[in-house]
Amino acid sequence: MSDRVVVAGAVYDRGRLLAARRSAPPELAGRWELPGGKVEPGESGEQALVRELREELGVETEPLERIPGEWPLKPGYVLRVWTARLVSGVPAPLQDHDELRWLGPGEGDTVDWLEQDRPAVAEAVRRLADG
Ligand code: CDP
């Protein structure tokens, strides 16, 4: 069986990148991630990303580009990441998170990212710096 895909968004707004601190499950609580979740049957990765960001943060977003690569999570799951533009709304930690933070250029290392998110975060921060 192929791996289940989890999608996450490097959400940009006004030159900053959104980081979200997980509140659950206990083994991930307190660590920071790019927000997202599992792709449901029949959804594209982009569709799942837009839905997850709406559910978790209450915002509308537009996926821009896939960050090349795929990162293993727990057995049977892989992570894929897109950059995305905030279209409307103010992100709020509605589900899964207890804090959100906008990181400006040079602030990419100021939160404790989940290990599996780090390569995509590094690329997202590079793209942010390139403007
Ligand atoms: O919301 P949903 O149940 O669809 O998914 P989730 O619980 O947010 O994420 C599914 C799994 O992917 C969890 O084990 C997360 O820890 C992991 N994940 C991750 O490692 N990095 C992300 N940026 C997003 C999710």
CA–CA dist 53, 99 (Å, integer): 15
ipTM for this prediction: 0.94
Which residue owns the Cα nearest ligand 1 atom 15?
37
Pocket test residue of 6, 28, 39, 43 for ligand 1, highest count of atoms within 8 A of CB = 6
Mean pLDDT confidence for 100-124: 97
CA–CA dist 27, 33 (Å, integer): 13
Can you tell me which residue has the tokens 């400006």? 104
What DSSP string runs through 21-42? Answer: EE--STTTTT-EE--EEEPPTT
Q: What is the pLDDT of residues 66-90, one digit of tens each?
A: 999 999 999 999 999 999 999 999 9
Tokens for 62, please give them. 């537009």
Does the C-beta of 8 come closer than 6 Å to ligand 1?
yes
